[in-house]
Structure 1
């Protein structure tokens, strides 16, 4: 990860000017074109389109994606073992409908070599519309203004609209627009197969293998490569001017159809030509345009997918989607989109007073979270959204921990939909638990279709905490919305089965008193794997068990008929709930009396400390330069397990414990995970380290805009984007909502250098506006009847007629953060002295 200068703006403001409501680009991307395609992607949670140019020629990484549409492939393990994951899943690009090539006479607009008198590209965060405007001086020395717009509808999940306006500026011109939908994935596969047959291309790889015996290090964050033809053509049809293509994924059997149609206007006659084949459909529009007049081509594209329906039936759905859209017209669709976005920002906006450069980045991140999830009903939230196929389009735990809190407080129906999707995965999770000799249910570490897709069990299946993460997100949603019906009707089975898993995974050991231990697990910190009594896992498991106990007993008390149905459905035994309660109460929570910190696991503090200050910058991230066994031998952290646990279950730790743990683990944390800065920013703010909190917040804020982890080209980091909201609202806003804390609480920690912070949270149907300035906290109801919120230790009733204004006592602000030097020299419980060191060599040295 690149380290940001705290006093410098990480963006080139000549290229990306500050604008609080837009991401605007003033010159075409060259060296970082793939990254720019990610930043300017548009989507809605069902359909996503990377920010490629409409000409298509210069797209470095084209991609249109439909959430959940994937191919499968066998996972080949060099050495087999029982229970290993068998079938991999890969989100695959769907046919690309964005291509609209322009010819002036016979001269094509090709952006990398075009003579451009003007260029601007804008992603308008108030409308979700991507607009590019260029003035092109053609090789014939005539100028043409070309405006392209692209929108993926938030109100019509299956619809994308592209628009091209071409205006001659220096005389009458012959114009041609070639609009295409093309199955790129199989064209790219064929090209790759051709290149693989060229023996000369093997030479660089062979040289690399000889110079570096461990071989080139594949980046595990990137997608896998499918080595065969993927989409089998099953439909090709036209109805009027609407053309549709249908496919079946060769191995997964999923079906897909895409349909396209056009509206074309000009001040003169328009001639048309069309051609279709199984992997492409083209329509060509020609006209003679007068100087100052505009040729306007509007392209409607619809996508539908299924696990069972024939592609011909999906093609009919596409035609209906397009027919309805054309009835409304492009102007009506834009009006719908703007109205939707206005409502979204009314619920979701977070405002930093007097800091427009931060404001722009905040809204950029929040908007991409919306694009990843808003229309995702029936699916999960991919780690990179639909902006690229990084992480293969898989769903992980971070959706529940870093993304759903934002939606639970702003657009709770999205959280409900995501959690409902987890409910549909429960049968597969039960089978997976049985497969690895467990009771209950174990949700997959990474998946698209509900089956485990991680081939690395130490960093995958061993992360049992995903069960508790899902339960945590579920109960947060229930607490913030009051939606007990969803819990008792749909989600209670998940709580029961995850509690069963913990009760079976752990065991009691008596040493004066009962203690419940959980061994052989991996926490979120993937630089330490398969350990005993991982603090994060044990804390989250305890919460999961207690939530299950409370939910089952509450259902028995309040809804006995539904309780009886649940008991029959999950075959709940009379003594199970008491066992869960005993396990939760007896949960082993490690604590080191000598160092006065909570160990990350029961052996973590016995390891040598990695000397991070003396680690070469070229050796980060460590996972790409050191063998895992080397990393596992050290106290070194990819992301902060202990600090994250103490944030999520804040009420279970004292302020002193949180401060001591934060001071110990902060110098050991590499920042190699884009997620780590979320908890670091929140806890630094709570403890009182202003500069450290703002520094970690900036790390989150510019993960993608500044490409600090060098993999934004594979897609937006959706969880860290959600973490931006968490850092602002949980961190500087001081929101806490864990059960042990007694409900929604605010303890604001506004940074000294900020003028003010405003955000909204919706609590059980009431949207509250929170305005923070130095020495003043104001609460007002924007929508709903009112609610009760605790602020700085006192509860207040806030209603539409009774806003609340508070003048809190000033909070203590701490000085400089402890460093590794403050850890070095401390004596462990066994009498050994903590001394930092480095491995003898890295991949670079």
Structure 2
């Protein structure tokens, strides 16, 4: 297969800047993609990056994390244990709209000539800034400057500063500030299961409306899920011009209309404060009271105060989370920081919720939470914002009773976390690539272990984690059995692993390995709790009905876990039947037939050796100590050519394992694709929202891949690769700060903390002390590093999918790579 590069934007439109994503020309063809790329959010609520004037627009979107409607899942044929209730995040009333009329004519980018234009998402200020100079057909020039933010400090607050200056004429100006319930702008594609179910405006039942000159508040209840919403706005108007204000109401929108007689050179400044509040239990009246208090505080403090707290929050974030990189690609630094900023926008104030696959940038995947959180986001959060990681794990704990109920629904013991959910109920209608992915249980257990070992938060483990571990271990023990035909090895049948092009199989290697980890960690944790904290152990036994024999059973199952190995090929089969299938002809498949799931019946795909994303290779990374270097090399070499990359979650893992094996070209190519997943629109679907997990994966590819970090048993080790000129990042480790700086063929470790930290560098034990720098030359140790060689000149290059999509010209320009997708009704992000 021909490898093609992602098509990157021309720099005169989208300049390369390390701290901003900048657009210097409005490109209508890229409108849909840029609405996702320029989105603003704080983890609680978010707004797509459409223009304040309301037009042109691809799809207006304002979303509150976890605020959803429910609906009965239709089936042609039902079966016992099928999910019954779907959940879809709601596109709530849009408060960002400020329509601009000059001489009673609507001004918008699609119809009014533009003399100057710049829009920028600033990663340091946390604002979306824009400057546009319009010229009307009568020659009147109007300069608009706007600045939008969704506050990290004030969870329920967003603000827009909108300044209009007429430069060369006296003219009537109207600013119509609106709260709009947009109709669905398009029918969501029935042939693309990634897109959301269409919900009309009637899903929100109006309950209250309160208006007072510049202020408007609305209250709603959802029709089926019975959640409550309060939203509204207030304003500060600053102008020396004559002005009148009135409120208007229609079926679609509520407006505060400012009519101003503008004079040349005198700016009209409107600051709009927005607030959103949702709940499953609180009444609309209480929600409206909370909204009023937020707006009152915002008016007292003003926009400048919001800017200050936003900058302070981001200063702290970048101190903790920044990754500096050079020597790879001209946009690498810009892409890396955009990825990190989007991770922040998806997680910062999620607090009591999860993180949707698209964050709050689009409605695709229904706003559901998947295993993405644990496997691709929590590693980043554990080492940059442990509090946020803890909150996500607490969210899983709060869903534990629902997971117990789900296990009973599928006739199993313990707890089964849903493959996709918002409220804790399973919302996956396609069981083969949904319910059958039991490995989500192991993902939750794995994340608990990673968090506890990195932070030392044993209190979390005692109070919450062990209970989750007990119930997930029970599920595995009940799901599997000791097979006489396999020499009494513990086997787990009829499951689906991470690769969704191979479903409902026996002994998926990834699943069995991760289940073994879950079982052992559960047994260890219970036994340690029993010996160190008898009171908490007794309470746990009371809550869970734990018997003394269960941990022994789990350990027996873990020790006897069946892990297949093919002696002839020297590889680990993905599952019992995988190697019996015909190998898919990837090279002979037309480029426009990817992703496969949109062009072939699932049964066709399931009959072949072909992967949607890494499966065994993912296990090579997560559980590397269970494999020899030669086994890793053979497994990677076998599975890599048949991995289509139809999932956005694949390239980052391929990059990590390639780096460990010393495959320099592969490691850098796959990392590049992870970085560019959205900004080059590698999947062809960024219009529907950003791939948040892939952004976590780009951080993982830098830290676990190029820096070679591994973290097992609370111990850190590094095998850095001299693949880029410079790589610098910091890690939060048990309340201390570890700085890692790779540059010019050497690596420097520096600890900021008062307690000594022992790490391993390329097999050498290093003891780090506060403020002391320890430097090692990578060139001197390269030959001693296991597996350090490069196969790139002798074998097929990494399978970066190909396929021409036209002539893209923007930051979301469609790459010629295969776009990512998901199987019917399911898939990975």
The secondary structure found in structure 1 opposite 2:568 is coil
How far apart in 2 are the matches of 1:598 and 1:818? Answer: 23
Counterpart pick for 2:77 among 76, 79, 101 = 79
Q: Which residue of 2 aligns with 1:55?
A: 53
Aligned pairs, how many? 793
Matches within 5 A, 1:145-156: 145-156=143-154
Q: Which residue of 1 aligns with 2:607?
A: 633
Q: Which residue of 1 aligns with 2:763?
A: 793
How far apart in 1 are the matches of 2:614 and 2:293? Answer: 49
The alpha carbon displacement at 1:477 in A equals: 0.5
Q: Which residue of 2 aligns with 1:495?
A: 469
Matches within 5 A, 1:212-231: 218-226=191-199, 229-231=202-204
Q: TM-score, normalised by structure 1?
A: 0.91
Counterpart pick for 1:816 among 771, 785, 792 = 792
Counterpart pick for 2:253 among 266, 280, 288 = 280
How far apart in 1 are the matches of 2:2 and 2:587? Answer: 15
1:107 aligns with 2:105: yes
How far apart in 1 are the matches of 2:797 and 2:114? Answer: 55
How far apart in 2 are the matches of 1:731 and 1:782? Answer: 23
The alpha carbon displacement at 1:775 in A equals: 3.1
1:779 aligns with 2:749: yes
The alpha carbon displacement at 1:275 in A equals: 2.1
Counterpart pick for 1:525 among 499, 503, 526 = 499
Matches within 5 A, 1:644-683: 644-683=618-657
Q: Which residue of 2 aligns with 1:827?
A: none
How far apart in 1 are the matches of 2:773 and 2:477? Answer: 46
The alpha carbon displacement at 1:455 in A equals: 0.4
How far apart in 2 are the matches of 1:344 and 1:818? Answer: 43
The alpha carbon displacement at 1:508 in A equals: 0.6
Q: Which residue of 2 aligns with 1:202?
A: none
Matches within 5 A, 1:604-623: 604-623=578-597
Counterpart pick for 1:457 among 431, 445, 449 = 431
CA spacing shift, 1:512–1:223, aligned 2, 3 Å: closer
The alpha carbon displacement at 1:803 in A equals: 2.1
Contact 2:7 2:680 in 1 (8 A): no
Counterpart pick for 1:330 among 283, 297, 303 = 303
1:749 aligns with 2:721: yes
Q: Specify every segment of 5 or more residues in structure 1 that has no aligned partner in the other structure, as ranges.
A: 197-215, 824-845
How far apart in 2 are the matches of 1:351 and 1:406? Answer: 15
1:303 aligns with 2:276: yes
The secondary structure found in structure 2 opposite 1:656 is helix
Q: Which residue of 2 aligns with 1:593?
A: 567
Deviations 1:557-593 (A, max 9, x none): 1111111111111010110000000111111111000
Contact 2:640 2:798 in 1 (8 A): no
The alpha carbon displacement at 1:9 in A equals: 6.1
The secondary structure found in structure 1 opposite 2:463 is helix
Q: Which has the higher contact order (CA 8 A, sep 6+)?
A: 2
1:544 aligns with 2:537: no
Deviations 1:686-719 (A, max 9, x none): 0011111111111111111011111101100000
How far apart in 2 are the matches of 1:801 and 1:381? Answer: 36
1:188 aligns with 2:184: yes
Matches within 5 A, 1:352-751: 352-354=325-327, 355-510=329-484, 513-739=487-713, 743-751=715-723
Counterpart pick for 2:39 among 31, 38, 41 = 41
The secondary structure found in structure 2 opposite 1:114 is coil
Q: Which residue of 1 aligns with 2:11?
A: 13
The alpha carbon displacement at 1:483 in A equals: 0.4
The secondary structure found in structure 2 opposite 1:674 is coil
The secondary structure found in structure 1 opposite 2:97 is strand
CA spacing shift, 1:282–1:822, aligned 2, 3 Å: closer
Deviations 1:230-276 (A, max 9, x none): 11101111356421001111111111010210000011232111124
Q: Which residue of 2 aligns with 1:843?
A: none
The secondary structure found in structure 1 opposite 2:677 is coil
Q: Which residue of 1 aligns with 2:812?
A: none
Q: Specify every segment of 5 or more residues in structure 2 that has no aligned partner in the other structure, as ranges.
A: 800-829
Deviations 1:408-452 (A, max 9, x none): 000011110000000010001000101111000000000001000
Provide the aligned C-alpha RMSD in A: 2.0
CA spacing shift, 1:287–1:608, aligned 2, 3 Å: same
The secondary structure found in structure 2 opposite 1:737 is strand
How far apart in 2 are the matches of 1:277 and 1:796? Answer: 68
Which piece of structure 1 moves more, 140-149 or 295-304? 140-149
CA spacing shift, 1:312–1:280, aligned 2, 3 Å: farther
Q: TM-score, normalised by structure 2?
A: 0.93
How far apart in 1 are the matches of 2:528 and 2:87? Answer: 39
The secondary structure found in structure 1 opposite 2:91 is coil
Counterpart pick for 1:290 among 263, 271, 280 = 263
Q: Which residue of 2 aligns with 1:247?
A: 220
The alpha carbon displacement at 1:149 in A equals: 1.3
The alpha carbon displacement at 1:107 in A equals: 2.0
How far apart in 1 are the matches of 2:232 and 2:698? Answer: 37
The alpha carbon displacement at 1:220 in A equals: 1.5
1:157 aligns with 2:155: yes
Contact 1:639 1:673 in 2 (8 A): yes
Contact 1:236 1:278 in 2 (8 A): no
Deviations 1:184-207 (A, max 9, x none): 2xx339x97xxx9xxxxxxxxxxx
Q: Which residue of 1 aligns with 2:293?
A: 320
CA spacing shift, 1:163–1:429, aligned 2, 3 Å: same
Contact 2:326 2:332 in 1 (8 A): no
Contact 2:358 2:367 in 1 (8 A): yes
The secondary structure found in structure 2 opposite 1:113 is coil
How far apart in 2 are the matches of 1:379 and 1:789? Answer: 34
